[in-house]
Structure 1
């Protein structure tokens, strides 16, 4: 709220930002009249703001309506890039490691590979020899599938059978990746390595883009029901905490595990 005594307050900036924020909440296209209704500004004011934002590249015309352009992502990226992702993730990763008792990893996608960025080992638990920088095929890992689910295109193979359980059929794998994107987490049972079950959840930035994934692995002796009931919710909650710290407005933890 503008303080009438505050001479440093730029009201036009506030109004311009209110126009951009009006598109939040699944409003892909808005007319000037609709923007005026959402923001509470007059139509002439909204028109001037919209035309300015269009010239700056933040909006584009779609007939009589307007839509955001990818240029607005630069605003969120400026915030996200100013943060040290591993530093933001460290405490939630340490907390979930203590709860579950297994190593928690921060993982990113590089081409068709899932790459370890940072790892928090437990005091006791399943030993790991994988170090930051280690690469794994994304199609056969939980973290990889979480990251692939955020891409518009689906992997088309060919896919090698790394274990007898590895899914190699492109159509089936594409369906699995789509399901992972819808439910907000992934669980892989001995597809990358026999005797190992892995699960993962996405980390989102301020533009709600998936920028990384949290992943954990447990021995196959741990019952699947326990992994789903106890471990997956704990990891999803940790990923949601990191996402919130990065400015994400929504995280799949809002959905039932």
Structure 2
């Protein structure tokens, strides 16, 4: 029993440390100790012990105002950037889509039962759809999900359906959506996950022909009206083909 307890305690400590690091955001680059205690619900003594350990590894840096990201994260940031950043040519293509249509562009891949945003260019408009790079979103709804589930087996669809608000029976709808996206070459969603949000997505194909990622435009449904969907889709398909021709590669993309 002791090894199991030690292992469980270790995992719990890791999760608590990651919870503390996750409090740091662009909007909140410095977090006071009191905020950490309140946000985690942990005893102050436990929080102090955790932040001191994170400081020792350079992952946090203590200031008079609180804790900020430590210099030790630079090494990890460099490794992440070298593995995850898209080529400049691909980034330019995404920026071009935003410039032409004024809506947010997302590039997503599937990671088990989630979809992960690996690149984004935000709409310049005040009212816009925002998903941060690295965010994980559910696969049970949305245009990107329909595209990414192309070729998914029944077991995967059932697992995703169980995580949805609709229950296991939603697997049949997921199958219908993914089959339609495969036939049409694109997918559209209107308020399936967020009310008032519309998205159009197309696949980015890997060298072997499978779906490596989804490329989408998303924004308020009031702007992304049905009469514009064909225009959005045509441009997305053109850009997707150009990205695929450059050889889209990513750590989480299944190898064919």
Q: TM-score range, shorter-chain basis?
A: 0.5 to 0.7
Q: Which moved more, 1:116-125 or 1:192-201?
A: 116-125
- 3-state SS, counterpart of residue 202 of structure 2: strand
**Which residue in 2 is equivalent to 1:158?**
162
TM-score by length of 1: 0.56
Provide the aligned C-alpha RMSD in A: 3.0
TM-score by length of 2: 0.57
CA distance in 1, matches of 2:230, 2:241: 17
Cα shift at 1:229: 2.3
Q: Conserved in 2, the CA contact under 8 Å of 1:102 and 1:125?
A: no
**Which residue in 1 is equivalent to 2:128?**
127
- 3-state SS, counterpart of residue 162 of structure 2: coil
Cα shift at 1:207: 2.0
CA distance in 1, matches of 2:243, 2:126: 23
**Which residue in 1 is equivalent to 2:144?**
143
Query: Compared with structure 1, are the counterparts of its residues 227 and 152 closer, same or farther at alpha carbon in structure 2 (3 Å cutoff)?
Result: farther
**Which residue in 2 is equivalent to 1:178?**
179
Q: Which moved more, 1:193-202 or 1:152-161?
A: 152-161
**Which residue in 2 is equivalent to 1:216?**
217
CA distance in 2, matches of 1:138, 1:187: 14
CA distance in 2, matches of 1:102, 1:244: 24
Gaps of 5+ in 1: 1-81, 248-257
- 3-state SS, counterpart of residue 127 of structure 1: coil
Cα shift at 1:113: 0.8
CA distance in 2, matches of 1:228, 1:119: 20
